[in-house]
Amino acid sequence: FVVDPYVENFINSHLDLSDEIKTKMLERYRFKKPKLRPAQVRFACELAGGQGWKKVIPLCGAIELKDTSYYCADDVFDKNKNSKMIYIIGNLLSVMANLMVSEIEQVANSKEKFNKIYKALFALNSQIYQGFYIDEHMRGTDESYYMKKAYAYNYWEHILKMAALCFNHIHLSVLKWLI
């Protein structure tokens, strides 16, 4: 639950948003519930030999906000309830996630690594939304095509890459895999 206070503070202190929008954003976030994605970031950091994983709390928060924004998009596609507001909130959460990742630049200690982290974040977005498109418009598509193009397997790979890139001392073989 270390990520929750960081996310709440970040949403309340960044961008000039109305109280109503901030409240709706915070309502979509799953406070005080176990979160798999930040745990995955922490695991990836430790796997890469990183110590002091709390340095990457912004990345943990960003990944969780991205995931929350995907659930907003999923609600728009599946339920269509209050779709305009959910769509707006989902986009704002995604913007917040991008801002959070920018706080990782000092931890990454390298412009090149930081750029790779951002590229992985945007690749994640691309795959998620390709999955939505396939789900919405390509019904009956071969599942292996869907799995290859969408996020099911690739999501974790991107999280591992982003987290591992935050540390300078990762093993050369791991670094080659990331590049």
* Residues contacting 25, CB < 8 A, separation 6+: 11, 17, 89, 92, 93, 96
Q: Tell me what pLDDT residue 172 has.
A: 46
The dihedral formed by the CA atoms of 155, 62, 43 and 107, expressed in degrees to the nearest 10? 120
What is residue 144's predicted lDDT score, i.e. its pLDDT?
67
What are the backbone dihedrals phi and psi of residue 52, each rounded to the nearest 5 degrees, phi first?
A: 75, 55
Nearest to 62 by CA among 158, 177, 171: 158
Q: Which CATH number fits domain 3-178: 1.10.600.10, 3.40.50.150, 3.40.50.1820, 1.10.357.10?
A: 1.10.600.10
Domain boundaries, the chain: 3-178
Q: Are 113 and 169 in contact (CB under 8 A)?
A: no
Question: Among residues 96, 86, 81, which one has the least CA distance to residue 6?
Answer: 96
- pLDDT (tens, 9 = 90+) of the chain, 179 residues, equals 688 999 889 888 887 888 888 888 888 888 877 777 888 888 877 777 777 778 888 888 888 888 888 888 877 777 766 577 888 888 888 888 888 888 877 777 777 777 878 887 877 777 777 777 766 676 666 666 656 655 545 666 767 777 767 765 555 455 455 54
What is the structure's pLDDT at 176? Answer: 52
- Type of residue found at 67: D
